[in-house]
Amino acid sequence: MKAQDSCQSGVFYLHGMQVLLGIFFHFIGGAASGSFYMPYKRVRGWHWESYWIIGGLFSWLIVPPLAAWLTIPGFADIIRSTPSSTIGYTMLFGVLWGVGGLTYGLGVRYLGMSLGNSVVLGFCSAFGALLPAVYYNFVPQDGKTTFSELLGTTWGRVVLVGVLVCLLGIYICGRAGMLKEKELPEEEKKKSVSEFNLTKGLVVAIISGILSACFNFGIEAGKPMAEAAVRAGCNPLYQNNVIYITLLWGGLATNAIWCLMLNFRNRSFSDYGNKQTPLLKNYLLSALAGTTWFLQFFFYGMGESKLGNGASSWILHMAFIILIANAWGLVLKEWKGVSAKTRITITLGIAAILISVLLVGYGNSLK
């Protein structure tokens, strides 16, 4: 009996360590996502579409195959041998996600790091965390968590409570942003967010949040490629890197078309060679932003390999992004000059998100 108890304790300990490692990877990924826009803020003399697409070339075209080459030998053969339907669906979700990613940039532009991220990721969290489980309720697959399983198990209910607490925290953060809008005069708001516009920002942020969840659906659609990589001897920690290549092709197409249209409309093609701007610095900052952006999903894949691509992984990723983005909001003094009530509100929102992370982690430890 003692030997059996010792064995069970050892299994529980190892599972707990896997959960903690998964949370740690999601934290790094969330920190990368919550921070990637910062280099863009130091770009000088370029239009938004110019630095966005230069960064995007690194995010969606250059760095993903480099990461796959470093971690998945023979990744090109895996993609070539994948059925065209799998590639097509993965790219389709990439295109839809691309619209979400595009409007994310506009949301941050109009609302700031703190409020923009809270609204965008609120919708993204809900759709991305729960819809795959609902889908697998109707199209069950081995190893995939269904919504019924979440409702019918102790660990699943704890995770769902964590999701709800996270959404509550996001709502509170959004409420803090609304209070800020009412309290600060226009010129004060624009000191921290130069193009602050609540109406425009909320519209694009809501669209972005819903469509950004398609990235999670794209990962699900491309899972056969990840499974083929594992069968070929790839470290499961990096299995998603082969999916990202095709998924991000779709995102690149959407963003490239839109940014080129803006280049034409705003006559901003000259940005790329304008010697009156710090060209080398602008290119390097945009490349840094794009590379940092990709790192969020590099580490998301590592966290997902420990926790699974269910509600837990997605909500943890979103929660950490919001926490880091709000921290940057404080650094950039986006909340300077607001009342004590508003500061308490944003603090409560961040605290709720932290509690949600603990709940989701605890729920997974019971699995």
Is the pLDDT score of 28 beyond 80?
yes
For 38-83, what is each residue's pLDDT tens digit?
899 899 999 999 999 999 999 999 999 999 999 999 999 999 999 9
Is the pLDDT score of 153 beyond 60?
yes
Is the pLDDT score of 3 beyond 60?
no
| Distance, CA of 316 to CA of 21 (rounded, Å) | 12
The pLDDT of residue 114 = 63
The pLDDT of residue 196 = 66
For 312-334, what is each residue's pLDDT tens digit?
677 777 778 777 877 777 777 77
The pLDDT of residue 317 = 78
For 340-354, what is each residue's pLDDT tens digit?
888 888 888 878 877
Is the pLDDT score of 93 beyond 70?
yes
- Which has more pLDDT, 335 or 274? 274
**Beta-carbon contacts of residue 92 (< 8 Å; ≥ 6 apart):** 221, 250
- Which has more pLDDT, 352 or 91? 91
Percent pLDDT > 70 in the chain is: 83
The pLDDT of residue 262 = 94
Point out the least confidently predicted range of 25-34, 219-228, 326-335: 326-335
Residue with tokens 């080459």: 69
Burial class, 89, CB count within 10 angstroms (exposed 0-12 / middle 13-18 / buried 19+): middle
Is the pLDDT score of 95 beyond 90?
yes
- Which has more pLDDT, 107 or 256? 256
* Separation of first and last alpha carbons in the chain: 23
Please give the structure tokens belonging to residue 307.
Answer: 């926790």
The pLDDT of residue 178 = 73
What is the band of 337 on the pLDDT scale with cuts at 50, 70, 90?
A: confident
pTM: 0.73
Length of the chain counted residue by residue: 367
Q: How many CB atoms lie within 10 A of CB 196?
A: 22
The pLDDT of residue 288 = 97
The pLDDT of residue 76 = 95
For 97-137, what is each residue's pLDDT tens digit?
888 877 776 777 777 666 666 667 666 766 666 777 777 78
Tell me what the mean pLDDT of segment 145-173 comes to: 83
The pLDDT of residue 86 = 93
| Distance, CA of 67 to CA of 242 (rounded, Å) | 9
For 184-199, what is each residue's pLDDT tens digit?
665 655 555 556 666 7
